[in-house]
């Protein structure tokens, strides 16, 4: 049985994602994303499930930082969950003066809180389920939690189906120590971190390598390197798999321009096939390479 670390405690959205990605495996909650990733790095877990990106609030910065620092980890699978919340309180409790949740969750229910609990102070907690634990322990009056949290904690629902934006979604990754890559499917996502030098046009130079090969980006984020003020790392996700000739060509070009960290190539949860521009398919790259090979052997010109 695989040992799967996940961003917990029990009752987080991430636990649901871990169950979807690793059904029947041995799941262990960790209090922070960093600790879940560390468990994989230390060998205490075979893989970790962590949130990466929400359709309303964008990336989860602790996950980006956790993946770019420390020993390399690569994503081998992803899943996307619909996100709406339940607001939980202690049974029979009265006035709600504090309402706790993960900052990403609070940001997704800001309008709801302003309308329905205008006098309550929002308080950040380490996860939506940690907020529910805090309510049980009397630290807060209410928690904005995943609907499944009610199955784990002795709380009651003040409201369900809470979300400022309908159809919000969060994408989660399963990450492991580097090893065999999942096979290409034609609907894959590759993730890299590019540490580019601070000079005019650096980012544009990197993006041109991808755009020039007809490779469609699915996300780009910048995070500070945390060592030199004003220096950033770029987290770039794009369509395709590193085993494809067109992606190999792009990755080698990028590697010449900057320091790269590979964060994985894996099937997309939404199964959207890669956009292939005219003349930029894998066969086009193979044909071009075959022509150069023939030239080198003196068989073509
Ligand atoms: O706290 C949780 O339940 C999580 O799994 C984290 C998280 C996030 O980091 O975005 C996951 C999904 C929701 O968007 C809110 C919180």
- Which pTM was predicted? 0.95
CA of 128 to the centre of ligand 1 (A): 7
Q: What is the pLDDT along the chain (301 residues), one digit of tens a residue?
A: 999 999 999 999 999 999 999 999 999 999 999 999 999 999 999 999 999 999 999 999 999 999 999 999 999 999 999 999 999 999 998 899 999 999 999 999 999 999 999 999 999 999 999 999 999 999 999 999 999 999 999 999 999 999 999 999 999 999 999 999 999 999 999 999 999 888 899 999 999 999 999 999 999 999 998 888 888 999 999 999 999 999 999 999 999 999 999 999 999 999 999 999 999 999 999 999 999 999 999 997 7
Domains of the chain in start order, with CATH, are 1-82+170-179 (3.40.190.10), 84-162 (3.40.190.10), 181-301 (3.30.70.260)
Residue among 5, 9, 13, 146 to mutate when testing ligand 1 (max atoms within 8 A of CB) = 13
188 CA to middle of ligand 1, Å?
24
Helix 202-211 × helix 245-257 angle, to 10°: 170
| CA dist list (Å): 26 to 12, 20, 33, 75 | 16, 13, 18, 19
Q: Is 235 a catalytic residue?
A: no
- Cis check for the bond before 249: say yes or no (omega within 30 of 0): no
Query: Is residue 41 within 8 Å of residue 48, measured between CB atoms?
Result: no
**Long-range contacts (CB closer than 8 Å, 24 or more residues apart) made by 225-234:** 225/195, 226/65, 230/198, 231/198, 233/68, 233/193, 233/194, 233/195, 234/193, 234/194, 234/196, 234/203, 234/206
């Amino acid at each position: 049985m695989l040992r799967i670390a996940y961003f917990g405690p029990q009752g987080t959205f991430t636990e649901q994602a871990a169950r979807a990605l690793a059904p029947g495996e041995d799941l262990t909650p960790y209090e922070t994303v960093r600790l879940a990733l560390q468990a994989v790095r230390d060998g205490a877990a075979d893989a970790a499930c962590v949130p990466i990106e929400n359709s309303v609030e964008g990336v989860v910065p602790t996950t980006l930082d956790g993946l770019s620092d420390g020993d390399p980890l690569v994503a081998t699978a992803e899943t996307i969950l619909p996100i709406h919340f339940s607001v939980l309180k202690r049974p029979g409790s009265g006035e709600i003066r504090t309402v706790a949740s993960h900052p990403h969750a609070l940001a997704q229910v800001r309008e709801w809180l302003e309308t329905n609990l205008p006098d309550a102070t929002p308080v950040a907690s380490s996860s939506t389920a940690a907020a529910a634990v805090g309510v049980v322990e009397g630290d807060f009056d209410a928690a904005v939690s995943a609907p499944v949290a009610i199955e784990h904690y002795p709380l009651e629902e003040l409201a369900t189906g809470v979300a400022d934006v309908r159809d919000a979604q969060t994408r989660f990754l399963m990450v492991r120590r580097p090893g065999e890559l999942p096979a290409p499917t034609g609907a894959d996502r590759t993730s890299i971190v590019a540490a580019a030098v601070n000079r005019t046009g650096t980012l544009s130079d990197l993006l041109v390598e991808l755009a020039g090969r007809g490779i469609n980006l699915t996300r780009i984020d910048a995070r500070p390197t945390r060592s030199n003020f004003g220096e950033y790392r770029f987290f770039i996700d794009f369509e395709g798999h590193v085993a494809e000739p067109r992606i190999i060509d792009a990755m080698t070009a990028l590697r010449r321009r900057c320091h790269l960290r590979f964060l994985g190539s894996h099937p997309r949860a939404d199964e959207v096939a890669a956009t292939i521009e005219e003349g930029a398919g894998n066969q086009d790259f193979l044909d071009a390479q075959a022509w150069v090979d023939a030239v080198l052997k003196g068989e073509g010109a």
